[in-house]
Structures are given as structure tokens and as C-alpha cells.
């Protein structure tokens, strides 16, 4: 038998190793789980901080709104007081103007009232007395200051003759003597009967000449 040929010894692959192990980076496995937890904690803290910031701002806004509401209420109270004072001032001004106009008449008002009261019988009640200055035409383009006295009231009587008697006493009073001229033009009595009340409601108008 032929002898088997002996296989030559296997030759291993080889190449020179020039690496400097001390300078190579550390390629060990790095765990990143703690990084995820850290990011989650940071995000949670940021969300909490933002929520607290919103709460603080909302508290400030609510405080400002309450302060504005309080100020508005105070201003409303002050405005109401000012309006009330203005209304009172207007009313008093009207009263003063009326008094000034009343006492500036050519006919002394107190004398006129005294004459009307003295001439008034018990069955006549006054409702209003008005004195108005008017310009009376004297002709030829001339005018004179005159006054018109208007008396409104009620005569408790079955006859209206008491009204004429009252006017005659007024005209004859010292304050109005010789001040009422024409008995037709310068004296007017307008009356109508109220059958339910058994009385006459009247309006008497007297036109007075300027005092001589």
C-alpha cells in the first residue's frame, strides 16, 4: 500500500497589531435610563413652575378686578351724591329766582297778598296767585310797564255773586286803589260751577296800571 502523504501544518492568519490600547476610547455599554428619568423630572418641574406662575398671575388679575370694582362702587356713590347735590342746587336756584322775580315786581308782593287776604271772604279758597309784568300799549308807539294779577280758587256758594263782591273789595284796597282802570278790559272773572261739590271754580284776572 502506498503511504499517505502528510498534510503540511496549517498556517494561521497574522497581521501586526499597532493599536495603543491605552489611548482607545472606552466602548463599554452606557446605560441611558437615568437620563430619561432626569428629563422627565425636569419637565415635571417646569410644568409645576408654569402652573404656579399662572396661578399667581390669575390671583393678581382677580385682585386688580376687585380693586377696580371697589373703586367703581366708590365712584358711583360719589356720583350719586354729586347728582343729588346738583339737583338740590338747581331746585334752590329755581326757588331763589322765583323769589327774586316775585320781590322785583312793581307792585310790592306783600302788599298785594295782604290786600287779597283782607278782601277774601271765608267761602273763598285760593289755589294760586300769579303776578306777571306786561307791556301795555299806550298808543303812538309808546308802552308802559303794567302788571297782570291772576287769581285761581274756589267759591263755596250756590251763587257766583260773591266773586264780583270780592273783586270790588280788592280793587278798592289801599294797595290797588286807582291801579285798575277800565272795569271791563282790566277786570275779568271766569267761573264754572261744580254741581257735585256745590262750588264755583274761578279765575280772576286784573290788569294793573303803573303806579302814579
User: For every one of its 212 residues, what pLDDT tens digit does the chain have, with 9 covering 90 and above?
Assistant: 445 555 555 555 666 666 666 666 666 655 666 667 777 888 888 888 898 888 888 888 888 888 888 888 888 888 888 888 888 888 888 777 766 665 555 556 677 788 888 889 899 999 988 887 776 555 566 565 677 889 999 999 888 888 989 988 888 887 777 666 665 567 888 999 988 888 999 999 988 776 55
pLDDT at residue 101, rounded to an integer: 61
Contact criterion met (CB below 8 Å) for 168 and 177: no
* CA 197 to chain CA mean position, Å: 44
Provide the residue count of the chain.
212
Note the pLDDT of residue 201: 93
Side-chain half-sphere CA neighbours of 37 within 13 A: 4
In DSSP terms, 153 is beta-bridged to 126, 202
Per-residue pLDDT at 202: 94
Residue 81 is predicted with a pLDDT of 84
pLDDT for residue 18: 62
Q: What is the pTM of this model?
A: 0.46
Cite the beta strand spans of the chain per DSSP E: 124-139, 142-155, 187-194, 199-208
Positive or negative torsion for Cα 34, 39, 43, 46: positive
Amino acid at each position: 500500500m502506498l503511504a499517505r502523504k502528510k498534510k503540511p501544518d496549517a498556517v494561521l492568519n497574522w497581521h501586526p497589531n499597532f493599536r495603543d490600547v491605552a489611548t482607545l476610547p472606552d466602548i463599554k455599554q452606557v446605560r441611558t435610563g437615568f437620563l430619561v428619568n432626569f428629563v422627565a423630572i425636569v419637565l415635571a418641574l417646569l410644568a409645576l413652575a408654569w402652573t404656579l406662575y399662572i396661578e399667581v398671575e390669575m390671583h393678581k388679575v382677580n385682585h386688580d378686578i376687585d380693586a377696580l370694582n371697589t373703586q367703581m362702587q366708590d365712584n358711583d356713590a360719589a356720583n350719586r351724591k354729586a347728582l343729588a347735590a346738583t339737583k338740590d342746587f338747581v331746585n334752590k336756584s329755581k326757588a331763589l329766582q322765583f323769589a327774586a322775580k316775585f320781590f322785583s315786581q312793581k307792585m310790592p308782593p306783600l302788599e298785594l297778598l295782604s290786600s287779597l287776604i283782607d278782601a277774601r271772604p271765608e267761602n273763598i279758597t285760593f289755589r294760586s296767585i300769579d303776578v306777571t309784568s306786561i307791556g301795555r300799549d299806550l298808543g303812538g308807539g309808546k308802552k308802559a310797564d303794567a302788571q297782570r294779577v291772576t287769581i285761581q280758587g274756589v267759591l263755596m256758594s250756590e251763587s257766583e255773586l260773591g266773586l264780583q263782591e270780592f273783586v270790588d273789595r280788592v280793587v278798592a284796597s289801599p294797595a290797588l286803589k286807582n291801579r285798575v282802570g277800565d272795569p271791563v278790559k282790566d277786570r275779568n272773572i271766569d267761573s264754572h260751577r261744580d254741581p257735585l261739590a256745590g262750588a264755583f271754580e274761578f279765575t280772576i284776572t286784573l290788569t294793573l296800571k303803573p303806579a302814579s
